[in-house]
Amino acid sequence: MLLATCVAAADGTLSASSAWIRAIPGSEVAAAYLTLHNGGAAAVTVVGVRCPLAATAMIHETQLHGTQSSMRARETLALAPGATVVFAPGGLHVMLEGLAHALAPGEEVPLVLLFADGRSLTVSARVRALTE
């Protein structure tokens, strides 16, 4: 069963839903996925992400060039008014490195998205088994 987590900023303009992480047994890295929505009238820019269970957390984007895939860090991510951005395998994701422990299916992992205007949005990402 898929559990959707939905949190909104204090002013109700930003929301995050369907946050999840794929568990990789014994790994010190993981990728988190979610959906962000800007319900406000002004653009917002994500400038970073934090996770208390990881030494580093950053937004990455996977790109396919022919048969080769590459990953690059995204310094910022802009969301226009009314825009929805989906973080999904093979595309945008939150890269977590230096995990404090191997993540277990069912665990809830807090992610804090940081915005250029000083706001932040906390979302809980549920860890899924590698086969899900």
CB-neighbour burial class of residue 2 (10 A; exposed 0-12, middle 13-18, buried 19+): exposed
Amino acid at site 16: A
pTM exceeding the 0.85 threshold for the entire prediction: yes
- Tens digit of each residue's pLDDT (9 = 90 or more) over 104-128: 999 999 999 999 999 999 999 999 9
Check residues 59 and 3 and name the one with the higher pLDDT: 59
What fold characterizes domain 7-128? Immunoglobulin-like (2.60.40)
Instruction: Bin 10: left if φ > 0, else alpha if -120 < ψ < 50, else beta.
Output: alpha
Instruction: For residue range 67-103, list pLDDT tens digits in order.
Output: 777 778 889 999 999 999 999 998 999 999 999 999 9
Reduce the DSSP state of residue 1 to 3 states and report it: coil
pLDDT of 5 higher than 70: no
